[in-house]
Amino acid sequence: MPKIIVLPNEELCPDGAVLEAKEGETVLDVALANGIAIEHACEKSCACTTCHVIVREGFDSLEESDELEDDMLDKAWGLEPESRLSCQAKVADEDLVVEIPKYTVNHAAEEH
């Protein structure tokens, strides 16, 4: 069973975590099921960038991102070549090492 290793994030996961995942589950769903509250303002519909993560290891095992995800990622804070929206990144057969960026862009929250 693949694992998702979440690197320490000061706010959401200070000590980091190792999470069991099933193939086909999204990184976001696995994190949420394990108490790591990655923001997901669009309710996992690939319409925002709040669940942006950087896949430090295992990136090539993920299915390629589609055009919609790529367009959303262009708006993400701290975009890197290994950036993905965690609501779209499905676990394959390899372990993943994931970094949750320190900042996120939540247009919905910023408009209030």
Residue 60 lies in a domain: yes
- In angstroms, the CA 14 to CA 63 distance is 29
Helix (H, G, I), strand (E, B) or coil at 60: helix
Q: What is the pLDDT along the chain (112 residues), one digit of tens a residue?
A: 999 999 999 999 999 999 999 999 999 999 999 999 999 999 999 999 999 999 999 999 999 999 999 999 999 989 999 999 999 999 999 999 999 998 776 654 444 3
Domain housing 95: 3-103
Question: What is the token pair recorded at 96?
Answer: 């993943």
Residue 89 lies in a domain: yes
Number of domains in the chain: 1
Residue 109 lies in a domain: no
Overall pTM > 0.75: yes
Residue 93 lies in a domain: yes
Residue 68 lies in a domain: yes
